Amino acid sequence: MDVVYFAWVRERIGVPREQVESEAATVTDLVAELSAREERYAAAFSDLSSLRVALDQELSDFEAPLAGVREVAFFPPMTGG
């Protein structure tokens, strides 16, 4: 699946988008998997309460299942307007 990052999450991870091969069942599982791979993920995902997640461009939550999802987005709380 594609994983995309915005704002300081993007800056900490160092790329705006990447393809990830994963069998993670939920967003939380994906976060754990990525955090275990490299320190930069662990740093970006250290406080999930300051993160938001969207699945296929719809706001979602960390317990949501990933089956069938093509794009996962991680970002801080939005500051539009």
Partner 1 sequence: MQVRVQQEGFDLGAESDGFAARVSGVGAIVTFTGVVRDADAGGLVAMEIEHYPAMTQKALEAIAAEARARWSLADALVIHRYGRLAPGERIMMVATAARHRKHAFEAAEYLMDYLKSRAPFWKKEILTDGRAGWVDAKADDEDALSRW
Question: Under the rule (CB under 8 A), what is the footprint of partner 1?
Answer: 4, 6-8, 10, 54, 57-59, 71, 73, 75-81
Task: Give the long-range contacts of residues 46-52, CB within 8 A, separation 24 or more.
Answer: 50/76, 50/77, 51/9, 51/75, 51/76, 52/76, 52/77, 52/78
Nearer CB in complex with partner 1: 10/32: 10
Nearer CB in complex with partner 1: 32/75: 75
Q: How far is the CB of 51 from partner 1 (least distance, A)?
A: 11
Nearer CB in complex with partner 1: 65/76: 76
